[in-house]
Amino acid sequence: MKISTKGRYALQVMVEFAEHEGEVLSLKSVAEAHHISLKYLEQIVQRLVKAELLVSFRGANGGYKLAKTPSEITVAAILCATEGSLSVVTCMDKHVCGNDCHCRVRKCWDKLNALIDDYLQNVSLSKLLAD
Partner DNA sequence: GTTATGATATATTAATAATATATGAAAATC
Partner DNA sequence: GATTTTCATATATTATTAATATATCATAAC
Residues contributing to the site for DNA (CB under 7 A): 4-6, 26-28, 36-40, 42-43, 45-46, 49, 56-64
C-beta of 84: minimal distance to a second copy in Å? 9
Which residues pair with residue 64 across a beta bridge?
25, 56
> Within 10 Å of residue 128's Cβ, how many Cβ atoms?
17
Residue 55 interacts with a second copy (CB under 8 A)?
Answer: no
Which residues pair with residue 54 across a beta bridge?
66
Residue 74: C-alpha distances to residues 19, 20, 30, 43 (Å): 15, 17, 20, 20
Name which of 4 and 71 has its Cβ closer to DNA: 4
Residue 126 interacts with a second copy (CB under 8 A)?
Answer: no
Q: Are 118 and 71 in contact (CB under 8 A)?
A: no
Name which of 31 and 54 has its Cβ closer to a second copy: 31
Q: Are 12 and 34 in contact (CB under 8 A)?
A: yes
Name which of 39 and 104 has its Cβ closer to DNA: 39
Q: Which residues bind a second copy (CB under 8 A)?
A: 1-4, 7-8, 11-12, 15, 34-35, 75, 79, 83, 86-91, 98-99, 103-105, 107-108, 111-112, 115-116, 119-120, 123, 128-129, 131
